[in-house]
Amino acid sequence: MTVYDIDFSRPRQVTIDKESEGQRIDNFLINTLKGVPKSRIYRILRKGEVRINKGRIRPSYRLREGDILRIPPIRVAEPQPKTGPVLPLLQKRLTDSILYEDTGLLVLNKPSGMAVHGGSGLSHGIIETLRTMRPDARYLELVHRLDRDTSGCLMIAKKRSVLRTLHELLRSNRVDKQYLALVKGKWRGGDKRVEAPLRKNMLASGERIVRVEAQGKAAVTCFKPVHCYPRATLVEVTLLTGRTHQIRVHAAHIGHPIAGDEKYGSASFNRQMREQGLSRLFLHAQRLRFRNGVETIPTEFHAPLPEELESVLKNLDKN
């Protein structure tokens, strides 16, 4: 088996700066020791080989400015990562998808079909691909997530301070997240506000699914009709909470499942939409807007609707 060696043969001492303050020690080490397996990192933490100010610490310890971190010698051998033709293709797609970038923030028009992080058989998601593309970047972290099949605005923080600021805005509901979705049926009435608690469930097959259940977490979604077609409606969706699969489950809950949704949607409606050229989930994160904004970045980002979705709408207009 081909291997490569990651050799930190001598102890290292790092003085924690303002930028890293507040970060958990385990996450800091994962970002710093790129290529070292997480299991190895947690092992040296458990054994007390990692020291802060000469003392042992727990993996949950949060760094303070001025802390002296001692990282022990580490030598591991890992399988050579497979890149092949796939990774360069992902890199080009991401480069072409950049909407905005400065020293602290990167905003992408995420393509449909790309997971935001690796897992479930995927070695490279968006964040892993970005880190491979930019080996000298000190910090790259997802600010929020989008489902694999959803396209649109996705924020990646390039500084810890930016991540903290944006997370605070998200927690205090000062980020407006608006989506476009094509849903089943002709919309009746005007705007709809859906308040239905959501709960994650695991099927016997191991598949994760979200259902409306009284014991679930509070979830609020607002739907606004934009254009009606004979058998479908284009709606603008605003999220007031950020639960897993929230828009998809709430849309199905009110009888208007999203086109192309294989998990929560209508099989017959999906077949009709495939005849109109739809080959993916019709859900797009079109806009992010900061209220009481952040001075150092724009107050709004807009991701244009992908051509494949525009084409479906044109076909619906023709028919």
The pair of three-digit structure tokens given for residue 42, joined into one six-digit string: 């947690």
Query: For 314, phi and psi rounded to 5 degrees?
Result: -65, -40
| Distance, CA of 181 to CA of 226 (rounded, Å) | 10
Radius of gyration of the chain (CA): 22
Helix (H) / strand (E) containing 194: strand 192-195
Instruction: Please list the active-site residues.
Output: 147
**What's the burial of 261, exposed, middle or buried (CB within 10 Å: 0-12/13-18/19+)?**
buried
Residues sharing a CB contact under 8 Å with residue 271, sequence separation 6 or more, in sequence order: none
- Please name which of 162, 144, 150 lies closest in space to residue 303, comparing C-alpha atoms: 150
Helix (H) / strand (E) containing 94: helix 86-96
Half-sphere exposure of 38 (CA within 13 A, CB side): 6
Exposure b/e, 159-181, CB count within 10 A at least 16 = b: bbbbbebbeebbeeeebebbbbb
| Distance, CA of 241 to CA of 238 (rounded, Å) | 9
| Distance, CA of 307 to CA of 10 (rounded, Å) | 53
Half-sphere exposure of 207 (CA within 13 A, CB side): 8
